[in-house]
């Protein structure tokens, strides 16, 4: 699946929710279910520190695709991270560099990316692009 078809799939999934709390319930479930990161990567080296919550992000290149794993100490943030990983993980650096993230806006979670939320998500998205650039440079 392309990155965009995964984004569209998530938008479709969220279209059934009429209420905010339902969205949050879903994100909480996602956050609970997903074992997102190996404990050995849950250290300061991989930490993106927000004012509100912490995010850990790890990336490795496997057979030309980047595999992202991540975690957060706050569960709603973790749920959103789960979605972001689902979108970007297992794609080539070039695909990740070329694709714009739009699903967060479309499912009404853009406020979570505002700098004032300071939950580490915005920094995490920047970091994902940085990893893609770095791996691409390495491949060349």
Using the rule CB under 8 A, is 137 a contact of other proteins?
no
Is 51 known to be catalytic?
yes
Instruction: Give the nearest distance from C-beta 51 to other proteins in angstroms.
Output: 6
Using the rule CB under 8 A, is 51 a contact of other proteins?
yes
Using the rule CB under 8 A, is 75 a contact of other proteins?
yes
Using the rule CB under 8 A, is 76 a contact of other proteins?
yes
3-state SS of 107-132 is CCCHHHHCCCCCCCHHHHHHHHHHHH
Residue number with CB closer to other proteins (51 or 137): 51
Contact positions toward other proteins, by CB under 8 A? 20-21, 24-25, 28, 51-54, 73-77, 119
Active site residues: 51
């Amino acid at each position: 699946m392309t990155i965009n078809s995964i984004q569209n799939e998530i938008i479709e999934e969220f279209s059934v929710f009429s209420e905010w709390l339902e969205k949050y319930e879903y994100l909480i479930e996602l956050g609970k279910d997903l074992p997102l990161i190996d404990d050995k990567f849950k250290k300061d080296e991989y930490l993106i520190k927000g004012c509100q919550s912490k995010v850990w992000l790890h990336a490795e290149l496997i057979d030309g695709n980047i595999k992202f794993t991540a975690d957060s100490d706050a569960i709603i943030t973790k749920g959103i991270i789960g979605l972001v990983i689902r979108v970007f993980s297992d794609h080539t650096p070039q695909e990740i560099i070329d694709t714009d993230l739009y699903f967060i806006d479309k499912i009404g979670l853009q406020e979570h990316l505002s700098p004032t939320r300071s939950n580490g998500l915005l920094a995490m998205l920047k970091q994902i692009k940085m990893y893609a650039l770095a791996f691409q440079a390495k491949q060349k």
